[in-house]
């Protein structure tokens, strides 16, 4: 906070110095009042033109920065979509493998149950205990 106050004070003294310098320059100028006023007007016009040129340059630079930012954002969005698509493809692959595994295991269990039934039927028919399931 005190650094900001120091900066404000320095800026105030700088502006005061500019004003004092301008006043002394006008008072001790070797030119007439009319010539001095014309010089001041000319300098003000030059300053105004300089500000306009700089403003156009700043607007152009800002436009370039915005375009560059848009390009980077587009790149990041595109890369994000690629990663999401890749993740989705991997997820679908894992789901398909899981489905295949479950189907395979279900087939094995069904075959084991059928084999158990056959074995039971064979064992019970040899001993004559039952007629089967």
In degrees, to the nearest 5, what angle opens at C-alpha 79 toward C-alphas 75 and 84? 150
pLDDT at position 131: 52
Quick one: tokens of 51? 């500000």
In degrees, to the nearest 5, what angle opens at C-alpha 15 toward C-alphas 9 and 18? 145
- Top-confidence residue, 23 or 112: 112
Work out the pLDDT band at 1, boundaries 50, 70, 90: low
Average pLDDT over residues 50-64: 91
* DSSP 8-state symbol, 34: H
Work out the pLDDT band at 123, boundaries 50, 70, 90: confident
Q: Give CA–CA dist 58/63, Å, rounded.
A: 8
- Least confident span in 5-19, 76-90, 100-114: 5-19
């Amino acid at each position: 906070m005190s650094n900001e106050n120091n900066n404000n004070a320095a800026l105030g003294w700088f502006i005061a110095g500019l004003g004092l310098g301008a006043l002394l320059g006008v008072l001790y100028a070797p030119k007439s009042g009319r010539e001095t006023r014309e010089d001041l007007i000319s300098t003000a016009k030059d300053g105004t033109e300089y500000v306009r040129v700089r403003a156009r340059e700043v607007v152009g630079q800002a436009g370039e920065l915005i375009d560059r930012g848009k390009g980077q954002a587009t790149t990041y969005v595109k890369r994000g979509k690629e990663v999401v698509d890749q993740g989705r493809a991997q997820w679908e692959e894992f789901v398909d493998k899981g489905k295949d595994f479950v189907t395979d295991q279900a087939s094995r269990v069904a075959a084991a149950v059928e084999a158990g039934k056959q074995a039971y039927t064979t064992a019970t028919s040899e001993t004559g205990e039952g007629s089967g399931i």
